[in-house]
Copies of this chain bind each other. A is one copy, B any other.
Amino acid sequence: MNVKKIIIPPVRREDVPAALASLGIAVTAQRVEIGAILLESMQHLSAEQVQARLEADGASASKATVYNTLGLFARKGLVRELVIDGSRVFYDSNPSDHFHFYNVDDGTLFDFPSSPVTLSNLPTPPEGTKLDKVDVVVRVTTK
Contacting pair B120 A103 (CB below 8 A): no
Which residue of B83, B120, B122, B125 contacts A120 across the interface (Cβ within 8 Å)?
B120
What bracket does the count of chain A residues touching chain B fall in?
35 or more
Q: Is A58 an interface residue (CB 8 A)?
A: no
Question: How far in angstroms is the closest Cβ of chain B from A94?
Answer: 16
Residue on B with the closest CB to A83? B86
Q: Is A140 an interface residue (CB 8 A)?
A: yes
Question: How far in angstroms is the closest Cβ of chain B from A19?
Answer: 25
Q: With contacts A86-B83, A135-B137, A137-B135 known, is A128 near B143, CB below 8 A?
A: yes
Q: Is A126 an interface residue (CB 8 A)?
A: yes
Contacts of A103 in B (CB 8 A): 126, 129
Question: How far in angstroms is the closest Cβ of chain B from A88?
Answer: 7
Question: How far in angstroms is the closest Cβ of chain B from A77?
Answer: 15
Contacting pair B122 A132 (CB below 8 A): no
A contact set with B: CB distance below 8 Å: 83-86, 88-89, 101, 103-104, 110, 112-113, 115-123, 125-126, 128-143
